[in-house]
Chains A and B, each alone.
Chain A
Amino acid sequence: MAGIRLENICKRYGEVSVIEGLNLEIQDKEFMVLVGPSGCGKSTALRMIAGLEEISEGNLFIGDNRVNDWAPKDRDVAMVFQSYALYPHMTVRENIGFGLKMRKMPKPEINQKVDDAAKMLGLSQLLDRKPKALSGGQRQRVALGRAIVRNPKVFLFDEPLSNLDAELRVQMRSEISQLQKKLQTTAVYVTHDQVEAMTMGHRITVLNKGQLMQVGTPLQLFNSPDNIFVARFIGSPPMNVLTASVSASGDQVEGPGFKIPIPPCYSHAAQSFRNRDIKWGIRPGRVSWTQKADYQVAVETEVFLVEPLGNEVIVHAQLQGQPLVAKLPPSCLGQLGDQLTLYVDTRHLYLFDPASEQALSLDQERHLEQED
């Protein structure tokens, strides 16, 4: 029963600043995913919550307590590492029970709890084995068992699935989600895989270079990214972001090879960019190769790479030197030439300030007549 609050948390190694003024509130029972590119400070943030890394500045609260100076074991958190970090010389039973033993729980009670945890994770048959004799997925489960058996206030996961093969990863993903739901324990989950982030998180925190980019539900991040970084980090393939300038009238973005009307939701914000540079974005899924409605605007492109993925085709094209990626249905295969007319769904246009890379604010809801 505990939320986590990071207040202006900073982490420095000597001169190097790794995390700069991080503010974040994680609700009780929430599954929060920390996501960002390699080296952005996700692990560091997680380890500061665990108490494995000192906090250079700021306040960390778990529940109602400021825990900056608390020893890790007093914070009552459990962590699952990428490498599993099982104790190689102990059996599965001893591995799972070690935390309870260290907390001086009587033996019969430990056995009971270990049995319960093992049952929940399907490890009952493996309790007498050593980690060496387990498969990757089984080791992962033992690491989970070690975390849940103590019934901690908070679960911390640091890329726990990145050593598993794709199939197992999908399976463990849902197992971890279900486990957290069942146990109702606050969880912070670090990953650099945005699919994991989107599918597991109640909310997602996007970090870049030690700075908070955006916090929100998966759909919020996908539909209304705060900045170019989030727009491109969430979603696959990433959002197309192109450079253009706003027309004198302020109602369209223009660039070499395109003239695209600005949707009404931006009409106010775009005014201040008249005759100035701007960046506009469109998700690959919102670019099609047939025109169905008049809100789709044609652009002439040159195709230079086609990636057929079975249920969809990723087309990499150039719009007068600027890359434009489109996610098209497989039926387009065989009909693609070097030249291709693509249609941009203007209702789903995003506009960004080129200097700050922040999204322009919408002055009204995007109104989408009918979702296709």
Chain B
Amino acid sequence: MSGELSKKAHLGLHLFMLVFTFLATYPVFWVFAIAFSGKQTLLLADVNENPTFLDRLRAVFPWPEHPSFQSFIDVLSDQPFARWMLNSLIVAGLTTVVSVFLACTAAYAFSRFKFPGQRAGLMAFMVSQMFPGTLMMVPLYIIVVKYLGLGNTWWGLVLVYTTTAIPFCVWMLKGYFDTISIEIEESAILDGASRAAIFFQIVLPLAKPAIAVTALFAFMTGWNEFILASIFMEQETLYTAPVGLRFFVGKYSQLWGYFAAGSILVSIPVVVMFMFTQKFLVSGLTSGGIKG
């Protein structure tokens, strides 16, 4: 790369990127503006009959007329939104723990041991990722709700989310384990470490970046999912946050303020987790780089 772009080209490039950044973030600003408007409409400002240019500009500028926390306060107190967030947290948390644990052990086996069905197993994981989730809706409903009787329970969702998350997690972790030098493990074998000691004291600590990425992925699988949660959970107290959000804007209600405030609340945990794991994201997604 030559850093010798002319000043004009530099300016043009930045302008170009600014425009696209604006286009990408504008809806987000809009959501923030609605959430802090304290009102339940999609409009931020009233427009009179013969609007001047300034009036129009004011109408599309994402800033509330009277900023307030009212929607946030109401959504957490008047509405059972805190409860729904908690449900989501429990479901996504359990999904994360179970998927990461199972995926780690499975991926380690796939990476290090030779056994019949090894290739077939990995391929099956891959293939299962190729079907759209909605295709599985009916069979999953029948299996989980009708046969297993896990409708209206956290475990029903955890089971489904875990099975959805595991294939990706296994591929991700296997890829990472493959980059960890076998000689390191052999060293540990000669040092007298058992298989379990090697796994927990050598391999897992080394795979931290990949585990962080898979954990984030598993968490988001459970945290964001809407369709299955909406058909599995019929009781209002058991709704997860995405289902609850949908509940605000439906046929009978248009509570955009609550919807916007809720959306922001829902995204906070993900943003926080992302910030904690982002330093791992690049290294985790590229690969180990664990050289002596």
Interface membership of chain B positions 182-210, coded 1 if the CB is closer than 8 angstroms to chain A and 0 otherwise: 01101111111110010000100110000
**Least CB distance, A144 to chain B, in whole angstroms:** 13
The answer, yes or no, to whether A183 is at the interface (CB within 8 Å) is no
The answer, yes or no, to whether B118 is at the interface (CB within 8 Å) is no
Interface membership of chain A positions 65-104, coded 1 if the CB is closer than 8 angstroms to chain B and 0 otherwise: 0000000110001110111111111000000001100110
Contacts of A51 in B (CB 8 A): 190
The answer, yes or no, to whether B135 is at the interface (CB within 8 Å) is no
Interface positions, chain A 139-153, Cβ under 8 Å from B, are 139, 146, 150
The answer, yes or no, to whether B3 is at the interface (CB within 8 Å) is no
Interface of B is mostly: helix
The listed residue (A73, A79, A84, A131) touching B192 by CB distance below 8 A is A73
Categorize the interface residue count of chain B: 10 to 19
The answer, yes or no, to whether B181 is at the interface (CB within 8 Å) is yes
**Least CB distance, B191 to chain A, in whole angstroms:** 4
- Known interface pairs A79-B187, A102-B197, A131-B292; A85-B181 also in contact (CB < 8 Å): yes
- In whole angstroms, how far apart are the Cα atoms of A51 and B189 in the complex? 10
Contacts of A84 in B (CB 8 A): 292
B191–A102 touching, CB < 8 Å:
yes
**Least CB distance, A70 to chain B, in whole angstroms:** 12
The listed residue (B186, B194, B205, B291) touching A81 by CB distance below 8 A is B186
B292–A139 touching, CB < 8 Å:
yes
B187–A102 touching, CB < 8 Å:
no
The answer, yes or no, to whether B268 is at the interface (CB within 8 Å) is no
**Least CB distance, B205 to chain A, in whole angstroms:** 5
- In whole angstroms, how far apart are the Cα atoms of A50 and B184 in the complex? 14
- Known interface pairs A102-B197, A131-B292, A139-B292; A85-B184 also in contact (CB < 8 Å): yes
**Least CB distance, A89 to chain B, in whole angstroms:** 5
The answer, yes or no, to whether A168 is at the interface (CB within 8 Å) is no
- In whole angstroms, how far apart are the Cα atoms of A82 and B193 in the complex? 20
**Least CB distance, A203 to chain B, in whole angstroms:** 24
Q: Which residue of A lies closest to B194 (CB)?
A: A102
**Least CB distance, A29 to chain B, in whole angstroms:** 21
B190–A78 touching, CB < 8 Å:
yes
The listed residue (B181, B191, B193, B194) touching A146 by CB distance below 8 A is B191
Interface positions, chain A 145-163, Cβ under 8 Å from B, are 146, 150, 163
The answer, yes or no, to whether A248 is at the interface (CB within 8 Å) is no
The answer, yes or no, to whether A219 is at the interface (CB within 8 Å) is no
Q: Which residue of A lies closest to B198 (CB)?
A: A102
**Least CB distance, B42 to chain A, in whole angstroms:** 52
Contacts of B191 in A (CB 8 A): 73, 98-99, 102, 146, 150
B206–A89 touching, CB < 8 Å:
yes
The answer, yes or no, to whether B290 is at the interface (CB within 8 Å) is yes
- In whole angstroms, how far apart are the Cα atoms of A146 and B183 in the complex? 14
Q: Which residue of A lies closest to B288 (CB)?
A: A88
Contacts of A306 in B (CB 8 A): none
The answer, yes or no, to whether A170 is at the interface (CB within 8 Å) is no
Given A72-B190, A78-B190, 11 extra CB contacts under 8 A: A51-B190, A52-B189, A73-B193, A79-B186, A81-B187, A85-B181, A87-B188, A88-B184, A88-B292, A99-B191, A102-B197
A-B contact pairs, 24 of them (CB 8 A): A52-B186, A73-B192, A77-B190, A78-B190, A79-B186, A79-B190, A81-B186, A81-B187, A82-B183, A84-B292, A85-B181, A85-B184, A85-B186, A87-B202, A88-B184, A89-B205, A89-B206, A98-B193, A102-B188, A102-B191, A102-B193, A102-B194, A103-B192, A146-B191
